[in-house]
Structure 1
Amino acid sequence: MHPSLGLSRAVQSGRAGTWQVLLRDVALALRLLLVTARNRIGHPHFLSLWASGTALARASFLLLDALVGLPSVSATLLVSRLQEERVKHLVAELTIEADAENQLEQLCLFVRYQIKKQTFEKCHIGEERLPTVPYVYKTPKGQMIDLRLYNAELLRSAMPFLVHILERELRGWFPAFREALVAKLRAKKLSDCDIEKQAKVAVQDEYVRRVSEAVGRDPALESLAPGLGQLLAEQAQAAVLIQRALDVVHDRTAHYVAQEKERLQEEFPVLSLIGPWLRSQLYEVQCQLEREHCLEAHETALALCRERGLAQAAYFVARDLSFLREQAPALAAELARLRAPTRTFTWQTHVWRPSQWQVRRVGGPSGPEPPMGDTLLLGERPTYVAEKQCTRLTSTRLPLWRWGNFCHRVWAHTCNAMFLLGILIPWCSPLSLRSLVLPRPFMPDFEVNQEDGRLQPRKSSSTQTLCSRLLSLWRHISKSRTDFESQPDSGLSRQVNRAWNYLVKGLVGTVLLVLVFPVLSLVVCLTSLVAALLAPLWMPCVMLAFHLLMVLAYDFDSPSPERNRICVLGEAILWQGLVLGLLQPIAAAVIALVLCPIAAGFILLVAVFRWAAVRCWDALLFHGVIKRRARVPVGDSWMVTRVAGPGLSQDHLYQINPEQALTAFLAKVELEQLSIYGQQTEQQILEPLKAYE
């Protein structure tokens, strides 16, 4: 059989190759018209008319939101709420045994107590003794459900035994089993891909079987918790079966998508060469398959679990399947309507009178207050917390929320400023009127007594008055003089010490306190009182300037952390409005209506001209040179190379007649005879040498 020869593309391009090049060029021209130009008009891609309309709407939205505040809500909790309802549905039918109801009640009380405690103070649950958690339940049909695998301490104790079992079961059997399995599958004349898949499944099944048997009969796990080994073995088998069900559905989907790709390539030979068009068609097919067969993995896993006798895993898979089939669509639609504001703002104002502070009791035994003489443990003692501020909340749910924030901000800061300037500074500070007229130090702040929950003066807030400062000054002078006089007489230093204490410290300090302190106190108090009285006038102006600063510089009240906060007005007008809203549609129209058609027409003309020129060149060279002068070459060259035939592929064989076969057979026999004759002759020649030795 003669080999197949291939001519160089400089000599002959070939009809099929030339046609494929023409199709690729036509596909490139169509891509410019059907993909690039179309995306510049009607698709939400960058640099398109659709995107420009979206940018104008976005600019208007940002501008109005920065000025007045538009509603900003989201359904971000949809996935978490749906997952929460899904988990609830899994265990909704489970009931506890009668002897474990007390444990469940204690657990519920502990959870309620911790929720209430975490509301008012930060604490760690690990510091307290946790109640016993029940793990064994039963279904309405009487099936026992063992949830001990959720016991972290139990699994932590079983981990060393499991690691030892897994390492032990990996040794010894895998190479021989794999070779025997591959040989068995090759005997069935399967393809390499099928052999790889079936071998992977068989090896996995064998490994899981060995591990499950070893775990199920391990005495260490059985002594740790009765039935734990069997529970772990069933869980491992269930996990493998569920993953296998997912692989089956994935392979089936991939196979169908590959078939659909082949169909598109046959029906649309030109359009299928356009990558974005082909990917969009396959993406639609894949999305349709996911919608139609979204529960197929659950059904396959349920069938496999029931076939293997895994009752507990089958129960939970069936419950999950029923939720996804019956309740999930309606629940998702219902939860999608429950939208939460993207941001909530907190406004706090100080309560001026301590008698109106709210004192809350956290922790401790429930019921009435224990007698004063009773002794409680440290973990049972109640904690009292005083709320000194009144809190108001606003959110981004309603329109005009920025003006609502403005009103709340003005009110909160005005009240706090009046409290600071009208109460704290003139009456409670070291320069207050009380420190000027009272004879003794006073304590303006209060704290909660942790014994009975009553308010009492805070000792750390003790504030000195003018009289107490003078008294403290002269006591210091007296103590300094007493300490000096208790030492031996040193002559002139006594007069210096007297001058320093009585003149510098006493006289100068007293004059400063008597003359400067009252003036400074009166100036500070009067200024503070005037500022407090005028706070309703100047605070709105300050807050209005702050809101203008948020619009122009940095948006502190941004409704979402994903949004840009720097110069929102510039983003809305310059970027979204001018660049994306006005310049983008002009560029998109020029590209879609002018550049793309011109480029597509030019590419099509060049493609047709090149195809015609190559076809003429091939015909001229074939009829003029190759057909008349071509011969079978002895070897490969730059012009002709062997592309198929004997020696290049196992699929090609030599075809000979019986006479040629008989001649080859006789030649082979003669070679064997000559080889035997040569060996015998060599032995005869070497016999004298062997006899001499």
Structure 2
Amino acid sequence: MPHNLNITSANSANSGPNHQVYPPPQPYHINDGLQPEKEPVEFDASHLRGAPAEVEALVHNIKEVAQQFLYHWRTFPIVLPPPLSACTDGEDTLVRKKYHLRDLFVAPSFDELDAVAVDSKGEPRRLTNKQLESIRERGEFEVDSINFTGQTHRWRLSGLLQRGRDRRRETLLKDLALATRFIVVTARARLVSHCFSISQALKALLTGLLRLLDIIIGVPSLQAQNLDGKIREERCRYLVAELVCRPEYDDSLELLCGFIRKQLRRATMEKFEVERESSQLLPVSVPFVFGTPAGTAVDLRLFSRDIIRKALSTLVTILERETRDGIAQLLIEQAQSVVLMHRAVQNVQRKLQHTKESLRYKMESEHPVLARIGPWMRDRMREAEANFIEECEWSAHEEALSLCNRQNLRQTVYFLNRDLTFMKEREPVLLKELRKVKTPTRSFQWPTQIWLPRNWIVRRNFQGVSEIIPTVLSNTPTSITTPRADPSQPVFLVEREICHTTTTRWPMWRWINYIARTWCWTWNAMFLFGVAVPWCSRVSLRALLLVEPFTPDLELSQLNGTLFPRKSSQTPTLCSRLIALWRHISKSRTHFETEPDTGLMGTMGILFLFPIICIIASFSSLVIALSAFLWMPIVTLLLHAFMALVMDFDSPEPSRNRYLVVMEALVWNIGIQGCLQPIVALLVTVCICPIISFLILTIAVIRYWIRVMWDTAMFHLVIKNRGRVPASDSFVVKRIAGPGLASDYYYQIRPEQALAAFEAKLELDELLAFQQETERLITQPQRDFTQFVEACFSPFATSLAKTRDPYKSLEKEARDLVAVLHEKLDRRRKDLQTGLGVAVRSKIKLTTFDLKIVIQQAALMLERLYPSHVLARLNGCEEDFWENKGLNVGDWAGLAGLMYADIFSLDFLQPLDDTDTKFKLEPHPGVDLTRYTEMVHSTELGGVNGLDLLGAIYAPRGNIQVQSPYLEVSYFNPRAKQATNSRKPEKRCETSLLTSPRSRRKTNSGLSVSDGRWQPWKREIRPYSAEKLVIPLPIPHPAHIAVNIHNRDSEDPIDLDSELCQNILRAIEESPGEMATECVGRYRGGGGDSSFDSVASQSSVSLETGLDTAEVLHGGEIKGESETYHWTLSNWGGGMARRRNNSGSIKVDLASPEDVTLDTDTTRVMFSTYGTTV
């Protein structure tokens, strides 16, 4: 290793004489006597014998020209650069000495247990009084280390020999907690809990009785229909209930409401798909700016789907282009509001967590036994969380209001106040009223057939008006029987049944169902067997007695609404069948023989069997119809009995079990859960749990006192008299801590060792730069040869033959020279290696003061030596070197930190803490570090708080995974739901963005149950979430707001609850639409402020085409190099050097999360939720 010469600190170097022995830095050049010698390349032209004279002359001319430019190295002496400092006073450098860099770091030996175990006389060391007392307290003792000052070896005695007072008490408390658990938790849970308890038995008994009562008579089954949806709807309406339309947008409001009225009227008169037709008639002018009663403007332009689509795709471009309309500020305020609301929720969650931790510490100190019972502690935590939620129900809203007021977000503050007022005042009243409005869980339809066609109900629908017209029977058929699509023509519908409805609203609804089912089925059976079969079927009396075929069924004419016979239902009679048969026989014999013959059996069947079948079927069906009032109630009663015993078809709730309902109620609900469960639970509470608890308590106390007596006896009989410090682990004692046993320790080195290793690293960098420079020089003849051939002979489609002489000789010569260079470099580098393994290097550290010293001295060494010894040899500019390192130009302290990280590890740049376990890594005694000691002593830092050269690298490190700072683009969209979802958020209606607290609970519970184990006795723990605060706020679309304002001021309101109106509004929301603002022309690309347009266009072009421009320039360079040659031997391959700076780096500034700013003069936007600057 070369000599290191002392360098003074920066202060001393500038203020007075220093003691450096480094010679003035001079660029290294090969001496004149050692310069490489060139020799022209020899060409063999013997193959030209017999060639024309002109060809020979041409080849000789080319040969002469080539020998003027092309060459090879006749001699190329390879002399490695000398050490960084020359020897002074005849001293050898570290490299020349017997001890190399490997001797700088000698790992300490942790094998000192034998030395620790004996005293100065060589006898086993006796235990001191302090160690004996430690054994009585904890069953452990400590022995000071000899080689490592301040470190101790900790030994733990076997439990058979000694446990110690503290460990005995801990065991006793655990046993007492287990005994108490059976009384406090298990026995109490058998009385009142959600699983296997007396209270649960009473609920099961009541459930079973209600099931029996329900299956016998029918218990009312009602539910509040869509309660959460109605609350969400009222919440959305309340948020915008006070908004008014600005006077300048009254025309847009009227146009929008007129359009909606027109579409509603058209939907009632015409047949078309509302959303598709409405979207085709758009864009519709929608007012996006409203006002509050206090005069504050409410700008909702971010609800425009067109703006959000463009902003989400290219956010930076849209920010610059829409700055003139204030869209950028709207996006920033929207993102701020979402971020601040999320932070408010996080603050409340942190407050809850702090409350629970405080309660946990209090319980552990006041109840040492109960605090060790997990279920008891979970119940206390659950109670504390419930109390916190009840006390801080509106804390998230209030915290968000405070943060938004601080940032002057007036629009968000207004909506937050409205939302908080609704949740506090309106929601409880609405919930109370809406819970009273209950609907049956199930409805039953009972259709009864209308017997006579003249009593059928005919309805005429035309342009949204439906009316009942007289029923007219006609024998004249019409050609149109299906409803017409022409909206100018009416549509006729016929009803052949009268439908009655029953529900589960009233008591004894099953008997009501029984009566309705019996009545419906009786009349339908009478119609089937008394009318359809004996009079209208193919085996009816009419088919037997009538002469002509008859048509029993009728169909509806769409021309005039009359009923006429359906041709497809024409039924042949006996006479018509015989007439058809006779006509068939009367045809010519030839034609008769070609047709299929019915034969004698067919004729006999028609004449004898058909009448018998008709008579039997008709009269039997008439008898069944007349007796339907007698047998139908019995059939329906048997069906109800079947539903009670086997499968309940009339189950009022889809989630309820339908099979064996009576057995379930009697055996499971009443027998097992209602009768057997309380007996077993009471037995467990009164007998089993106390007995088990008493046994555990007795055993715990006996074990404790036996352990006390055993420990006392062993201490006085064995340990106190015969106890010695052990030298190794055994079944009696085991070392649990000490030097070399723990993995979280570090090696502390001296600054001199770090400086010596750094200078070796500096010399390695110089050797690497020398290698690259020399290799370029060695291979220069090959590059010149290649470019000469390409420049002269490429127009003749000739390429270089690299496998033939003389180019082959140039390659062999270069390989030999490079091999010699690598051999010499490897010998030098071998002496400059520290020989430290990865495990040792990652644990080497310095103190804060020493780390500052080595960083400063290394920076001074780099500043003096690196430009002339390393940078001067590089094949690029100095700026590129610093950019590749990620440092500013001239940041020598930062470069020193990176080099130290390469020598040791990145943990080296984190100084040692006072609490760290550290061992010294000393150098070999034969290594002389006097010069480095002088360098350290000459450093002036001004104390520990002096100049800090470590910069941004000087920070504690840990095993932390950090993602790149970013801001969700959905934060800019007020209609986006802040949840993981694959669907596009802007494709939903804004009311669907809300998720009720109950539905969230159901979702969370469903996930937890599906993911967890089947443990019904364990209560589900739901993490707290500020469910009252919906992010973003459920603000309706401006189209809804406009209709609400119109309805509030108009005598003829628009029905917002109708499905048609909702479809029209949804089509308006999903369409690009037109924005009713004063800057519509500029927004849609029309005329406007030219200065803004020019700025936006320039910025967008620069953003979108920057990369393409770079690619075009790069392509131009390549093309130029392929067509133009610089006829200079030293610069043929270089061309014209162009500096490129396309690192694509992003500067991240961890700023305050509240600051979201936009720089309109540059292409930079700061998303400071997470402090990201792009």
Per the normalisation by structure 1, the TM-score is 0.75
| Cα distance between partner residues in 2 of 1:318 and 1:259 | 32
Query: For structure 1, which segment, 349-358 or 55-64, has the greater mean C-alpha deviation from structure 2 after superposition?
Result: 349-358
Q: What do residues 214-247 of structure 1 show as CA deviations (whole Å, max 9, x unaligned)?
A: 542246x99xxx7666555543333222222211
Q: Which residue of 1 aligns with 2:207?
A: 58
Matches within 5 A, 1:241-390: 241-362=340-461, 364=463, 378=486, 381-390=489-498
Q: Which residue of 2 aligns with 1:217?
A: 320
From the superposition, tell whether residues 61 and 629 of structure 1 become closer, same or farther in structure 2 (CA, over 3 Å). Answer: same
From 84, 98, 101, the equivalent of 2:250 is 98
Give 1:162's aligned amino acid. Answer: L
State the secondary structure of the residue aligned to 1:430: coil
Q: Does 1:411 align with 2:519?
A: yes
Q: Which residue of 2 aligns with 1:190?
A: none
Q: Which of structures 1 and 2 has the bigger CA Rg?
A: 2
Q: Which residue of 1 aligns with 2:221?
A: 72
Query: For structure 1, which segment, 515-524 or 260-269, has the greater mean C-alpha deviation from structure 2 after superposition?
Result: 515-524
Query: For structure 1, which segment, 100-109 or 327-336, has the greater mean C-alpha deviation from structure 2 after superposition?
Result: 100-109
Q: Is the 8 A contact 1:365 1:380 kept in 2?
A: no
From the superposition, tell whether residues 286 and 517 of structure 1 become closer, same or farther in structure 2 (CA, over 3 Å). Answer: same
| Cα distance between partner residues in 2 of 1:575 and 1:113 | 59
Q: Which residue of 2 aligns with 1:464?
A: 572
Q: Is the 8 A contact 1:136 1:144 kept in 2?
A: no
Q: Which residue of 2 aligns with 1:85?
A: 234
Offset at residue 674 of structure 1 (A): 9.5
State the secondary structure of the residue aligned to 1:217: helix
Give 1:245's aligned amino acid. Answer: A
From the superposition, tell whether residues 389 and 308 of structure 1 become closer, same or farther in structure 2 (CA, over 3 Å). Answer: farther
Give 1:355's aligned amino acid. Answer: R
Q: Does 1:15 align with 2:108?
A: no
Q: Which residue of 1 aligns with 2:664?
A: 571
Offset at residue 461 of structure 1 (A): 2.6
Q: Does 1:553 align with 2:652?
A: no
Give 2:319's aligned amino acid. Answer: G
Q: Which residue of 1 aligns with 2:655?
A: 562
Q: Is the 8 A contact 1:440 1:467 kept in 2?
A: yes
| Cα distance between partner residues in 1 of 2:327 and 2:219 | 57
| Cα distance between partner residues in 2 of 1:542 and 1:286 | 58
Q: Does 1:532 align with 2:625?
A: yes
Q: Which residue of 2 aligns with 1:590?
A: 683
Give 1:297's aligned amino acid. Answer: A
Offset at residue 149 of structure 1 (A): 5.4
From the superposition, tell whether residues 364 and 474 of structure 1 become closer, same or farther in structure 2 (CA, over 3 Å). Answer: farther
| Cα distance between partner residues in 1 of 2:549 and 2:326 | 73
From the superposition, tell whether residues 443 and 76 of structure 1 become closer, same or farther in structure 2 (CA, over 3 Å). Answer: same
Offset at residue 365 of structure 1 (A): 6.0
Higher helix share: 1
Q: What do residues 539-587 of structure 1 show as CA deviations (whole Å, max 9, x unaligned)?
A: 0010011111111111111111121111111111111222222222222
Q: Is the 8 A contact 1:75 1:339 kept in 2?
A: yes
Offset at residue 400 of structure 1 (A): 0.9
From the superposition, tell whether residues 102 and 673 of structure 1 become closer, same or farther in structure 2 (CA, over 3 Å). Answer: closer
| Cα distance between partner residues in 2 of 1:443 and 1:227 | 76
Give 2:320's aligned amino acid. Answer: R
| Cα distance between partner residues in 2 of 1:257 and 1:453 | 75
Matches within 5 A, 1:431-510: 431-474=539-582, 481=588, 484-485=590-591, 497=593, 504-505=597-598, 508-510=601-603
Give 2:433's aligned amino acid. Answer: E
Q: Is the 8 A contact 2:269 2:464 kept in 1?
A: no
From 176, 179, 191, the equivalent of 1:29 is 179
| Cα distance between partner residues in 2 of 1:151 and 1:357 | 52
State the secondary structure of the residue aligned to 1:556: coil
Offset at residue 267 of structure 1 (A): 1.2
From the superposition, tell whether residues 519 and 34 of structure 1 become closer, same or farther in structure 2 (CA, over 3 Å). Answer: same
| Cα distance between partner residues in 1 of 2:694 and 2:269 | 75
Q: Does 1:643 align with 2:726?
A: no
Offset at residue 145 of structure 1 (A): 4.5
State the secondary structure of the residue aligned to 2:598: helix
From the superposition, tell whether residues 359 and 652 of structure 1 become closer, same or farther in structure 2 (CA, over 3 Å). Answer: same
Offset at residue 474 of structure 1 (A): 4.6
| Cα distance between partner residues in 1 of 2:586 and 2:255 | 72
Q: Is the 8 A contact 1:56 1:576 kept in 2?
A: yes
From the superposition, tell whether residues 279 and 518 of structure 1 become closer, same or farther in structure 2 (CA, over 3 Å). Answer: same
Q: Is the 8 A contact 2:538 2:572 kept in 1?
A: yes
Q: How many residues align?
A: 590
Offset at residue 626 of structure 1 (A): 2.9
State the secondary structure of the residue aligned to 2:692: helix
| Cα distance between partner residues in 2 of 1:632 and 1:66 | 82
Q: Is the 8 A contact 1:636 1:642 kept in 2?
A: no
Offset at residue 415 of structure 1 (A): 1.2
Give 1:298's aligned amino acid. Answer: H
Give the % identical residues. 37
Q: What do residues 522-543 of structure 1 show as CA deviations (whole Å, max 9, x unaligned)?
A: 2222112221111111100100
State the secondary structure of the residue aligned to 1:138: strand
Query: For structure 1, which segment, 4-13 or 668-677, has the greater mean C-alpha deviation from structure 2 after superposition?
Result: 668-677
Give 2:456's aligned amino acid. Answer: W
- Structure number with greater CO (CA < 8 Å, separation at least 6) is 1
Offset at residue 514 of structure 1 (A): 3.5
Q: What do residues 92-121 of structure 1 show as CA deviations (whole Å, max 9, x unaligned)?
A: 33455432324224425646886x899xx9
State the secondary structure of the residue aligned to 2:655: coil
Offset at residue 401 of structure 1 (A): 0.9
Q: Which residue of 2 aligns with 1:621?
A: 714
Offset at residue 286 of structure 1 (A): 0.5
From the superposition, tell whether residues 622 and 653 of structure 1 become closer, same or farther in structure 2 (CA, over 3 Å). Answer: farther
Q: Is the 8 A contact 1:117 1:362 kept in 2?
A: no
CA RMSD, Structure 1 to Structure 2 (Å): 3.8
Offset at residue 675 of structure 1 (A): 9.2
From the superposition, tell whether residues 547 and 667 of structure 1 become closer, same or farther in structure 2 (CA, over 3 Å). Answer: closer
From the superposition, tell whether residues 367 and 429 of structure 1 become closer, same or farther in structure 2 (CA, over 3 Å). Answer: closer
Q: Is the 8 A contact 1:646 1:653 kept in 2?
A: no
Offset at residue 633 of structure 1 (A): 4.8
From the superposition, tell whether residues 91 and 601 of structure 1 become closer, same or farther in structure 2 (CA, over 3 Å). Answer: same
Offset at residue 268 of structure 1 (A): 1.1
| Cα distance between partner residues in 1 of 2:151 and 2:197 | 59
From the superposition, tell whether residues 632 and 595 of structure 1 become closer, same or farther in structure 2 (CA, over 3 Å). Answer: same
From the superposition, tell whether residues 467 and 62 of structure 1 become closer, same or farther in structure 2 (CA, over 3 Å). Answer: same
Q: Which residue of 2 aligns with 1:197?
A: none
Q: Is the 8 A contact 1:35 1:277 kept in 2?
A: yes
Q: What do residues 432-485 of structure 1 show as CA deviations (whole Å, max 9, x unaligned)?
A: 233334443333223333344443433333333334333444555567x58x54
Give 2:335's aligned amino acid. Answer: A
From the superposition, tell whether residues 149 and 13 of structure 1 become closer, same or farther in structure 2 (CA, over 3 Å). Answer: same
Q: Which residue of 1 aligns with 2:339?
A: 240
Gaps of 5+ in 1: 166-212, 370-375, 486-493, 656-660, 678-693
Q: Is the 8 A contact 2:269 2:463 kept in 1?
A: no
Q: Is the 8 A contact 2:227 2:434 kept in 1?
A: yes
Give 1:101's aligned amino acid. Answer: E
Give 1:334's aligned amino acid. Answer: E
Q: Which residue of 1 aligns with 2:503?
A: 395
Give 1:396's aligned amino acid. Answer: T
Q: Which residue of 2 aligns with 1:610?
A: 703
From the superposition, tell whether residues 319 and 552 of structure 1 become closer, same or farther in structure 2 (CA, over 3 Å). Answer: same
From the superposition, tell whether residues 239 and 585 of structure 1 become closer, same or farther in structure 2 (CA, over 3 Å). Answer: same
Q: What do residues 59-108 of structure 1 show as CA deviations (whole Å, max 9, x unaligned)?
A: 21111111111122223533232223222222333455432324224425
Per the normalisation by structure 2, the TM-score is 0.46
Q: Which residue of 2 aligns with 1:138?
A: 290
| Cα distance between partner residues in 1 of 2:266 and 2:422 | 32
Gaps of 5+ in 2: 1-149, 469-483, 746-912, 935-1174
